Structure 1
Amino acid sequence: MPVIIIITSIAAPIQIVFDLSRSIDLHKLSTIQTNEEAIAGKTSGLIGEGESVTWRSKHFGFYQILTSKITFFDHPNKFTDEMVAGAFKSFIHHHYFEEKDGVTVMTDVFDYKSPLGLLGKIADALFLKQYMKRLLEKRNQTIKEFAEDSAKHKKILTL
């Protein structure tokens, strides 16, 4: 079961980083390259405990549908989303936040299982794990960019 861990330091208050991390609207902006669109469940604003979102996006030339649900929520320290339906066999994504001296340290732990048994394990080794890591890093850089610019995060957080 591959695990991707990404640590991002952001010069912004924990509350802003936490809220941007659960913003459906900012997620859409961070995934323009995959044409990601929220099509069911929570489709805009801030997702919260017990809520789900269904995404339609294009990966490897194919449109895919994925539904995830917020299964744990400790505002503003941690939340967890888990895949309910989608292309993976399973995934669980933990989001941790800690503020130190005016800097929020955001840690993502993305734990997933690929479908297709041995073929999925080969895909992980060849390209999938690196592909997922790049998507998460792009998302985190977008969160950082918006969190560190008050005009940008105010616009997103008032949608």
Structure 2
Amino acid sequence: MPTIVLETHIDAPIERVFDLARNVERHTETMGHGERAVAGTTSGHLENGDVVTWRATHFGIPMELTVEITEMESPVYFQDREIDGPFRELTHDHYFEQLAPNSTRMRDEFQFTSPVGPLGWVVDTLVLTRYMRNLIERRNQELKAIAEGQFD
């Protein structure tokens, strides 16, 4: 199962970064691909036990992904897991560490497996890992800009 690990240093308090990372509207703003919440919790801050269905277009194909917030420890951690969607398995762990009063390390650990059986390893290795890494990196940079007040 591929694992993507990314760290983003953000000059903002941990509570601000944590709240932005779990905010449905900010997710929509920062993900691109026309992604939006279409079912479940469709606005506000996601909480432990919440379910949300995201709709977006990737590789020219409209897709829906339903995730559940399965763990949360405010303001240092939350996890979302796919419960229905295009992956065989998907888990996204979000970690937040306060480095100083206005400095936070946001760490993503993103694990997934594509649903294409024996060819899955090839698809995961050659296509999806790079695609998902770029998607998460771009989102993190936009969250960073918002958290640091550049686009408040």
User: What TM-score bracket applies, with the shorter chain setting the length?
Assistant: over 0.9
Which residue of 2 is the match for residue 99 of structure 1?
98
Where does the alignment leave 5 or more consecutive residues of structure 2 unmatched? none
Contact 2:13 2:103 in 1 (8 A): yes
Deviation for aligned residue 1:150: 7.4
Instruction: Look up the match of 1:50.
Output: 49
Equivalent position amino acid for 2:36 in 1:
E
What does residue 87 of structure 1 align with? Answer: 86
Residue 110 of structure 2 corresponds to residue 110 of structure 1 = yes
What amino acid does structure 2 have at the position aligned with 1:127? V
Which structure: greater helix fraction? 1
**Alignment correspondent of 1:143:** 143
Contact 2:28 2:35 in 1 (8 A): yes
Deviations 1:127-159 (A, max 9, x none): 11000001101111111010000771xxxxxxx
Q: How many residues align?
A: 151
Q: Which residue identity is paired with 2:3?
A: V
Distance in 1 of aligned mates of 2:136 and 2:34? 15
Q: Compute the displacement of 1:125 (Å).
A: 1.6
Query: Which amino acid is the alignment partner of residue 80 of structure 1?
Result: Q
Give ranges in structure 1 of 5+ residues lacking alignment.
Answer: 153-159
Cα deviation for residue 116 of structure 1 reads: 1.1
Correspondence 1:28-47 to 2 at 5 A? 28-32=28-32, 34-47=33-46
Report how far residue 118 of structure 1 moved: 2.1
Higher mean displacement: 36-45 or 117-126: 117-126
Normalised by the length of structure 1, the TM-score is 0.92
Distance 1:19 1:120, change over 3 A: same
Aligned equivalents of 2:69, 2:103: Cα separation in 1: 25
Alpha-carbon RMSD across the aligned residues, in angstroms, is: 1.1
Segments of 4+ moved more than 4 angstroms: none
